[in-house]
Structure 1
């Protein structure tokens, strides 16, 4: 599932709203270890563009 969500996020990264929607869906579907892996990957791939979205979504997910 993790690789599937990485693919989806990469494909929708052109649109801020879709990216956030799919990221939230991924976080709901994954186990904590996978969420941490996804977080690291997202910051590496999209940190420059969507840092505020990543901060918001992962802060809630990992608290």
Structure 2
């Protein structure tokens, strides 16, 4: 079940990545619902995404720096 939540989170974040404000809101929601090890995986995914779409970096949580 938990893995499904992580995959769903990635799907949603990919779909809203065109709009930084919406992306930030969805990222905040995801960080509240994911397990600690999933947040680590999300961190890796986000770093790759930020290289391709630097405008989304405004959403970078302080713990991910």
Q: TM over 0.5: same fold?
A: yes
Name which of 40, 45, 58 aligns with 1:52.
58
Return 5+ residue gaps in structure 1 as ranges: none
Alignment RMSD = 1.5
Superposition misfits of 4+ residues, deviation over 2 angstroms? 46-49
1:5 to 5, 9, 19: 9
Unpaired stretches in structure 2, ≥5 consecutive residues: none
Q: Does 1:19 align with 2:6?
A: no
How many residue pairs align between the two structures?
A: 58
* Structure with larger Rg: 2
- Whole-Å Cα distance in 2 between the matches of residues 2 and 49 of structure 1? 23
TM-score under structure 1 length normalisation: 0.80
